[in-house]
Structure 1
Amino acid sequence: MSKGHAPSTEKRRPDRAALFIAVFLAALGGLIFWDTSRLAGAGGYSGVGPATIPFVIASGLLLLAAWTVFEALRGDFPVRERQEVGPVIWIIGGLAAQMLLLKPLGFSIATGLLFAATAAGFGKRKLWFTIPIGIAICLGVWLIFAGLLQLSLPAGPLEHLFW
C-alpha cells in the first residue's frame, strides 16, 4: 500500500475541495461563454473570428469541470499533504506590497521586493541578499521593456536615474 493513497477496500467520501474547484471551473467557463456570446457575429465568411478561441477555452474549462466532478465523486484523488501557510503568506504579502508600492517606488523596487518575498516563501530568507538581486533583475527587465520595446511600465526614482 502506498503512503499517499487510501486503501482500495475503503469507500472514500466525495472530495469537497475538488468539488469546489469544479464549481469554480464551471463558473469561469460559463463566464467566458457569456462574454464570448457577445462576439459571436464577428466571424465573417470563414466562421473563425475573435470568439473562436475563447469558445474553445470555455469548452475546455467546462469539460475539466465535469471531469473534476466525476473524479471527486469517485474519490480517486490522492490524499493531499497539509498546506504550509507561511510560504503562501510571504508570496501574498509580496504581491500586496508590489501593488501598493508600484506607483510610488516604480517597477524595479516594487517587483524586486516581490522577488525577495517569493524567495523567502521558498526558503531563501536572506532578505539582505535577495532584495538587491531582485531589484537589479527587475531594473534590467524595466530597461528592456521600457527602453527597447517602448512599453509603459511605472517608473520610480531608480528608473529615473537611467531614463
Structure 2
Amino acid sequence: MTQETPSSEARRPDRAALAIAAGIAIVAAIIAYSTATAVGGSATRIGPAVFPYAIAGGLFILAIWTAFEAMRGDFPEREEQRIQPVVWIVGGLVAQMLLLHITGFAIATGLLFAATARGFGKGPLWMTVPIGIVLSFIIWVIFAKGLELSLPAGPLERLI
C-alpha cells in the first residue's frame, strides 16, 4: 500500500498567478512601447531611454518567472480576501482626491492617513484623524516652505 502525500499530487496551475504574470508582462510592454515611441532622444549611447528599457526588461523577466512558478503550482495558499479594509483605503484615496483643493493638503491627507490606519485595523478615527492631519501638516511645511514646492493649501496651511 502506498499513501499519496500532498507533494506527490499533481498540482494545477495557479490561474491568479498567471493573471498577475500577464499583467506584469503588459506593463513591461507598455513601458517599452512608450519609451520607443517617445519624441526626442539622445545622441549618446546611454541616455535617458536606457532606464525605462531596463525596468521593462526586469518586469518582463519577473513576468516569465511568475508564469513559470504559477505553472508549477508553487505559490502558497492565499488567505481569503476581506473587502472592508480595501474599502477603507480606497475610500480614503477618493476622499483625498476630492478634498485636496477644497480643504488643502494637510486635512485631505490626514483623512487618507486615518482611513488607511482604519483599513489596517489601527486606532479609532477620533485619534488617527488628528494624528494624520498633524503629520501631513509637518510634511506640507517641509515641502512647501523648506523645499519651496507647490502643494495645495487650505485653511490650515494659510495660517502660516
| Shorter-chain TM-score range | over 0.9
- Structure 2 partner of 1:93: 91
List gaps (5 residues or longer) in structure 2.
none
Kindly state the Cα deviation for residue 11 of structure 1 after the two structures are TM-superposed.
Answer: 1.2
**Backbone CA RMSD of aligned residues:** 1.6
Q: What's the CA shift string for 1:53-109, capped at 9, x where partnerless?
A: 000000011111111111111111111111222111111111111011001000000
Percent identity reads 59
What is the aligned residue count?
Answer: 156
Q: Are 2:130 and 1:156 aligned?
A: no
TM-score by length of 1: 0.91
Alignment of 1:112-123 (within 5 A): 112-123=110-121
TM-score by length of 2: 0.92
2:70 and 2:149 map into 1 onto residues whose CA distance is 44
2:41 and 2:109 map into 1 onto residues whose CA distance is 39
1:125 and 1:115 map into 2 onto residues whose CA distance is 11
- Structure 1 partner of 2:22: 23
Decide which of 126, 136, 139 is 2:137's aligned counterpart.
Answer: 139
Q: What's the CA shift string for 1:22-54, capped at 9, x where partnerless?
A: 111010000011011135973424x10010000
- Structure 2 partner of 1:80: 78
